[in-house]
Amino acid sequence: MKRILFIFVISFISFSNSVKAQKIAVGLDGYTTNMWMALIVPGLSYAFPIHVSRDVPDAYPAGRISSPYRRTFSHPFHRFGNLAVGPTVSLQLEDKPLGFYAALRYKTEEAYYKRLKKGHDNDRAHYIQPEIGVRYQGVTLGMSYNAVIGYDGHVNDFSKDAVNSGFNLVLGYTVKSEKGESSIYYTHPLYNFYDTHFSPDGGITHPLQGMKYKIGYFTASYRLFLDD
C-alpha cells in the first residue's frame, strides 16, 4: 500500500510541475450514504448507492446483506453508513479542453445484515483511497484504488485479510463557471468486498466462499478556482 501511495503522489507532483496550468482547483472531496451526516458536516455530499452485486449463499446464518440505502436516515454518527473524505486538486491546461485531477481520501464501507441486532450487524472495512483521472470537455474518466488499512468484523471476527483491496472505475461530467466547477460522478467497483478465498484456519475452511458484495455510488462535488 505504501508503494502505491508513494507512486501516486510522486507521479502527480511531477506532472503538475511539467505542465502550464491555466487554473488550479482545490477542495475537500467527500461523500456519505447517510443523509443527516451530509447535511450536518460541511464538505460532505450525499452518495446514492447502486447495487452492482449483493448475494450470500443459501441459509447463510446472518441472512441477506441489507441495502446501504437503509442507512440513509440512520443516526448520523452511530450508524453512519459508508463514508469517504479527503483533499482533491485539479489542473486545467492552458488553451486546451484537457485537464487532470487527483484526490486522496479516507474511505470506510460496510456490509450489514437484516437478521442481526443493531450494533452487531455489520462488517466494516477501512481504506486509503488515492484517485487520479483525466477530463476532456467536461467528461471525466478516472481510476481509484481502495487499499485496506483496517477491518472491524462484528459478524465475522476475522483479520483484515477477509476483505479485499481493489480498483474502481470513475465516470463523471463537469460544468465550469468563473468561480469554480460542479461535477457529478459514478464510481463502479471492480472488486468484491469480501475475499472469498480467505481461510482463518490455513485452508481447511473458507467461510466467505460465495459472498458477493459490490456497491457503486453516484456523488456530486464543487471546487473553487484559485488564480495562478
Q: In this structure, what are the phi and psi dihedrals at residue 207, rounded to the nearest 5 degrees?
A: -65, -15
In angstroms, how far is the first alpha carbon of the chain from the final one? Answer: 33
Q: What is the CATH number of the domain that holds 29?
A: 2.40.160
Cell numbers linked to 78: 452511530
Are 116 and 62 in contact by the 8 Å Cβ rule? The answer is yes
Per-residue pLDDT of the chain (228 residues; tens, 9 = 90+): 556 555 555 555 555 555 555 678 788 878 999 999 988 888 788 999 999 999 998 888 888 888 888 888 888 888 888 999 999 898 888 778 898 989 999 999 999 887 777 777 889 999 999 999 999 998 999 999 999 999 998 888 789 999 999 999 999 998 888 888 788 999 999 999 999 999 999 899 999 999 999 999 999 877 777 665
> Looking at residue 49, what is its pLDDT?
93
Total domains in the chain come to 1
**Host domain of residue 105:** 2-226
Task: Provide the 8-state DSSP code for 66.
Answer: P
Are 153 and 113 in contact by the 8 Å Cβ rule? The answer is no
> Looking at residue 226, what is its pLDDT?
67
> Looking at residue 6, what is its pLDDT?
58
Rounded CA gap, 60 and 41, in Å? 37
